[in-house]
Amino acid sequence: MQAVMNAPKFITVEGGEGVGKTTQLRLIEARLRAEGVPLQVTREPGGTSLGEQLRHLLLQKEGLAPTPMAELLMVFAARAQHVNTVIAPALARGEWVLCDRFTDASFAYQGFGRGIPLESIQQLAELVHPQTNPDLTILLDVDPEIGLERARARGELDRFEREALPFFEAVREGYLKRVKLEPHRWRVIDASVDLQQVEQQLETLLTEWVAGAIA
């Protein structure tokens, strides 16, 4: 049965390496579709042909790595294309959008991780998507040491996953500071526990949150 929506919602999922985003995104997608939510599922960087090309350049291990500022601008170039051709049009059609990472990742990775001034990232965000911001952001939170162990266990690492532990500790700090800045938007899931417990946390969160968004 098709749910009756109050308004389309933009949901993002964030977290460091090894938090289980891919698995939990599938669970969130299934839960929303079961409610009859018209849904667009996408990711960053990526989501468009241009974005996926930039993603490949950002993650590849070969060749000279981009400088921190070049990395940030590549991410926002992909985001500009993504927002204007995928996210904003979907919301305008009345669809919900579920996105694997968004601008909070830039604050965490390029801001806290790379040391780029947060004011510069905020200026880019206001330029690229002044009216398109998440209604709900789910942070899958785990100690970086645990996350890196999980990432290594999966197999070959991309360029970001090869960073040293202090980088990921800074990324986690960045995410947790973002939570404190906008607590109304964020929900934090303890992703250090086993898969069943993570899914239980998500199920409770979604049951409560979706009920308020569906008439």
DSSP notation for 78-135: HHHHHIIIIIHHHHHTT-EEEEE--HHHIIIIIIIIT---HHHHHHHHHHH-TT---S
pLDDT tens, residue by residue, 48-94: 999 999 999 999 888 888 999 999 999 999 999 999 999 999 999 99
Over its C-alpha atoms, the chain yields an Rg (Å, rounded) of 17
- Torsional class of 106: left (φ above 0), alpha (ψ -120 to 50), beta (otherwise): alpha
Cβ neighbours of residue 193 under 8 Å, at least 6 residues apart?
none
Residue 186 has pLDDT above 90, yes or no: yes
What token pair was written down for 209? 């949150």
CB 15 within 8 A of CB 141: yes
Identify any residues that bridge with 39 across adjacent strands, giving them in sequence order.
96
What token pair was written down for 48? 């468009």
pLDDT level of residue 1 (50, 70, 90 thresholds): very low
CB 87 within 8 A of CB 101: no
The reply to whether CATH 3.40.50.300 applies to domain 10-213 is yes
Average pLDDT, the chain: 93
CA distance to 94, 100, 189, per residue, from 32 (Å): 14, 15, 18
Amino acid, res. 16: G
pLDDT level of residue 5 (50, 70, 90 thresholds): low
CA distance to 76, 79, 110, per residue, from 127 (Å): 10, 11, 17
